[in-house]
Amino acid sequence: MTRLIAGRLRSTRLAVPDAGTRPTTDRVREAMFSAIESRLDLDGTFVLDLFSGSGALGLEALSRGSETADFFESGGPAARILQGNIDTARVALGAPLASLALHRTALPGAISGPCPRDGGYDLVLIDPPYEQVEQQVPEILDRLITHAWLSDIAHVVVESSVRSAVIGWPDGMTSEFSRTYGETRVDIGVVEDR
């Protein structure tokens, strides 16, 4: 079990898949959201949570004021647990069905064609298995830009291992923040010319 740290859903417990995921620790999640909220007002934002696992990152954003969240998780057991966590949050928030959506599809291929949210996403949370960061994150970032999935105020957060290569932001994005917390690195990139 993990729990949400702050906001409307503070202390809500979330189920965590038994295997195949690496939940973000409370310490890293608190530091990550402190960095995000010092740069972006979450009230009313649209969130995209990629490699969602338990959904803790996207649900933390909702708890702190985001309006909607789309979760992408392809793993069968993880997706089932994530759906339960989404349902728990939906009931607690009194949120309409359309405001929280689980997409059971593989990345990066799922990011193609027009963005499912008018105007794009304001906050994108990318937390893949650490061994997939170098292979998948560059293509995901390129697709987010190419297919116009980012709003004009978009902040993209990538969680990775300190052993992974430093994130290379694509044209149209720039680094805003990079910190390490033990074995974890958190990078935030923003859309240029905002």
Q: What CA–CA distance (Å, rounded) separates 34 from 163?
A: 23
Which pair of tokens denotes residue 25? 């620790």
Burial label for 88, CB within 10 Å (0-12, 13-18, 19+), is: middle
Q: What is the pLDDT of residues 66-84, one digit of tens each?
A: 999 999 998 788 899 999 9
* Domain hosting residue 94, numbered range: 2-191
Query: CATH no. for residue 38?
Result: 3.40.50.150
What predicted TM-score, i.e. pTM, was given to this entire model?
0.94
DSSP 167: P
DSSP 98: G
Mean pLDDT confidence for 45-69: 96
Phi and psi angles of residue 177, each rounded to the nearest 5 degrees, phi first: -160, 140
Q: Is pLDDT above 60 for 194?
A: no
Query: How many domains in the chain?
Result: 1
